[in-house]
Amino acid sequence: MSGPVTETRDLFAAVPRSEFDTPGKSRGLIDVVRWRYLLSLLVRTGVTTRYRNSVLGWTWSYVRPAAQFLVFWIVLGLFMNLDKGIPNYAVYLFSGIVVINLFSEAFKNATTSIVGNAPLVRKVFLPRQLFAVSAVIVAFVHFLPQVGLLLIVCALLGWFAHVSVLAVLAIVAAMIIVMVFALGLGLLFGAANVRFRDAENIVELFLLLATWASPVLYSWVMVQDAVVKTLGWPQWLVEVYLLNPLTQGVELFHFAFWRPATEAMTSAPGYAGLPMDALPPGLAMNTLWTFIIAIGTLLIGQFVFRRLEGKFAQDL
């Protein structure tokens, strides 16, 4: 009886230990690619269960941003006159709102993804990063109808006649920057949220300020005037403000959607035209820098996540 056992043991001894995976050890985001089938299942589940037992279903993907836009447009644009100096304010406002919605949903859902999947985390080993990545992808899927609605509005204003290749690249760059930034923050706060549930409340505060901390409801020129002219603070503070990845994502969408749609309206009788300072200078260079910042945030979030994930099952 000992012969076959010994023979099998010798076969395993001949295999280098590097060929075996340590149980419970994750390779980080690399494992997300290796477990892509499970990732697709998580994304499919997140998309299909979002509006389960809902009468309107996917219509809510259009109703919610439309209602949000109407509130801001009526209160800020009509009542408070924040649209001064911003032609075609409706498109300017909506193109910024959709970016904020993408970031907000991706960041919030990634933060709560580990706690929300506690039964799986406690009982089954799988790369925990899958939950955060799937949450960001699901947010992107829900973001697409909003972009479709924005595209339809801009098309009616003559957007296709003035759109350029750079505008299309700006759309892609904005989505990548915002999603990578949201994933990095989601990994960071999602790992902390397992031990300290205060992280969810901190994220709620961040999201409350996100709309006001980016040029969605106002122009970046107003920030520069307030910081430099009114308060007398140095110009580099404005540069720091513009290097916020969320700010850059909003400005890239303004460049891609609002600017061509507004240029199409310049031929209209009595139309004021597009201000020369409507978009911040150095938009291309800021895109590169904010992408680097987003990648840096992702690396920090991944580092903290891997340091804490060993105690997830115990803390949950």
Tell me: pLDDT of 243 over 50.
yes
Mean pLDDT of 101-117: 91
Asked whether the beta carbons of 62 and 148 are under 8 A apart, the reply is no
Helix (H, G, I), strand (E, B) or coil at 311: helix
First to last CA, the chain: 45
Asked whether the beta carbons of 204 and 211 are under 8 A apart, the reply is no
1-9: long-range pairs with CB below 8 Å, 24+: none
**pLDDT tens track for 187-234:** 999 999 888 888 888 999 889 888 888 998 888 888 998 999 888 899
Q: What is the per-residue pLDDT for 20?
A: 46
Name the more confident of 81 and 255. 255
Q: What is the per-residue pLDDT for 108?
A: 93
Q: What is the per-residue pLDDT for 257?
A: 93
In 56-65, which positions are buried (b, 16+ CB within 10 angstroms) versus exposed (e)?
A: eeeeebeeeb
d(CA 287, CA 203): 25
Q: Name the residue among 202, 227, 223 with its Cα closest to residue 214.
A: 223
Q: Name the residue among 114, 107, 175, 172 with its Cα closest to residue 136.
A: 107
d(CA 98, CA 159): 17
Q: How many residues does the chain have?
A: 316
Q: What is the per-residue pLDDT for 271?
A: 52
Mean pLDDT of 58-72: 71
**pLDDT tens track for 276-292:** 457 788 899 999 999 99
Name the more confident of 301 and 39. 301
